[in-house]
């Protein structure tokens, strides 16, 4: 069993991006600049945005964090997005989700200029991705594709089961892995909360991507020998440590790992790769 080390792979890619930034700077170019909007005080969101800012600093990007209280109006938020859309100094914009319930996430996503939508959530980018055109691909699926690529994992002709059909993970993942590309060319089955006898599907899978947010869902008896298992799930549970919590994946690692050819750990697997794709997309946005 080989552990797919997302942390080490992400560090490699950060070094590659930092070299590109050095070159841009030495040639007198503009440093890529990512803006993030954070609304409210959600603890997990603050942590994620903090990680993104830190990653920007590590590769030499500029980053700007705009924080607003949870009672701002939708209109106010849309006006801030419009300002950033028209700010030539800023290359990429992300709005950390979830937003307070009185603000429409769909409206906010659609308000971001697709050329600055480095999260790849705008319908224009999603549509282009589905058609296999150049686009900003949403962070987690891109990170997984890159991890498969860097470990040279054969995907062509493989049976792949994705568990979860969300717009940010399961659905784009299924699309990317079914495309005529490398990694890709898989025969994809997308399972979800209404799937009957899910185990029947996972037992046939050469590659499983678990993205449902149910800790320890994928058990040893649901996986065939030699499978590649990608664990996207991150559920915070209270723990007696410094941070007060720990992260649990969707895969029951101790049971599943001995059967796998490759598996991602949680933490240190998909998570660090997700942040990298934001950096990569911001670099592309800046180069444009």
If the CB atoms of residues 51 and 128 are measured against ligand NAD, the closer one turns out to be 51
Q: Output the CA–CA distances (angstroms, integers) from residue 170 to 39, 138, 253, 271, in the order listed.
A: 25, 11, 20, 15
Tell me the torsion sign for CA atoms 182, 187, 191, 197: negative
* Of positions 55, 108, 191, 227, contacts ligand NAD by CB under 6 A: 191
Number of residues that bind ligand NAD (CB under 6 A): 24
The one segment of 56-64, 128-136, 157-165, 200-208 that binds ligand NAD by CB under 6 A: 157-165
Nearest distance, CB of residue 152 and ligand NAD, angstroms: 22
> What backbone torsions phi and psi does residue 17 show, to the nearest 5 degrees?
-65, -40
**Per-residue x/- track, 246-275, ligand NAD (CB under 6 A):** ------------------------xx--x-
The active-site residue, picked from 52, 116, 158, 280, is: 52
Q: Copy the structure tokens of residue 57.
A: 């600093």
Closest of 273, 97, 119, 33 to residue 129, by C-alpha: 119
Q: Rule CB under 6 A: is residue 49 a binding residue for ligand NAD?
A: no
* Of positions 169, 173, 222, 227, contacts ligand NAD by CB under 6 A: 169
Based on the residue annotation, tell me whether 14 is a catalytic residue of this protein.
Answer: no
Based on the residue annotation, tell me whether 96 is a catalytic residue of this protein.
Answer: yes
Q: Copy the structure tokens of residue 111.
A: 């308000």
CA–CA separation, 202 and 271 (whole Å): 23
Q: Rule CB under 6 A: is residue 145 a binding residue for ligand NAD?
A: no
Per-position DSSP letters for 189-231, written without gaps between them:
EEE-TT-SSHHHHHTT-SEEEE-S--TT-B-GGGS-TTEEEEE
**Residues in touch with ligand NAD (CB under 6 A):** 140, 163-166, 168-170, 191-193, 195, 198, 211-214, 232-235, 270-271, 274
């Amino acid at each position: 069993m080989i552990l797919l080390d997302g942390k080490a792979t992400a560090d490699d890619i950060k070094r590659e991006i930092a070299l590109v930034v050095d070159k841009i700077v030495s040639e007198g170019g503009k440093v890529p600049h990512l803006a993030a909007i954070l609304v409210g005080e959600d603890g997990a969101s603050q942590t994620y945005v903090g990680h993104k800012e830190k990653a920007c600093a590590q590769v030499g990007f500029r980053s700007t964090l705009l924080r607003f209280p949870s009672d701002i109006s939708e209109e106010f938020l849309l006006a801030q997005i419009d300002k950033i859309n028209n700010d030539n100094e800023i290359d990429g914009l992300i709005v950390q989700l979830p937003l307070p319930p009185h603000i429409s996430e769909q409206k906010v996503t659609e308000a971001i200029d697709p050329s600055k939508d480095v999260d790849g959530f705008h319908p224009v980018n999603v549509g282009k991705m589905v058609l296999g055109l150049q686009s900003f691909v949403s962070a987690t699926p891109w990170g997984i594709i890159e991890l498969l690529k860097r470990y040279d994992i054969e995907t062509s002709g493989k049976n792949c089961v994705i568990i979860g059909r969300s717009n940010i993970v399961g659905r784009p993942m299924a699309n990317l892995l079914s495309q005529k590309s490398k990694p890709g060319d898989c025969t994809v089955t997308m399972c979800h909360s209404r799937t009957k006898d899910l185990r029947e599907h996972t037992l046939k899978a050469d590659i499983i991507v678990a993205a449902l947010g149910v800790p320890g869902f994928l058990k040893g008896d649901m996986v065939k020998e030699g499978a590649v298992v990608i664990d996207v799930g991150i559920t915070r549970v209270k723990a007696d440590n410094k941070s007060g919590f720990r992260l649990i994946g969707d895969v029951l690692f101790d049971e599943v790992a001995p059967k796998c050819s490759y598996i991602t750990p949680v933490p240190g697997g998909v998570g660090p790769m997700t942040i990298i794709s934001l950096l990569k997309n911001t670099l592309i946005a800046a180069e444009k």
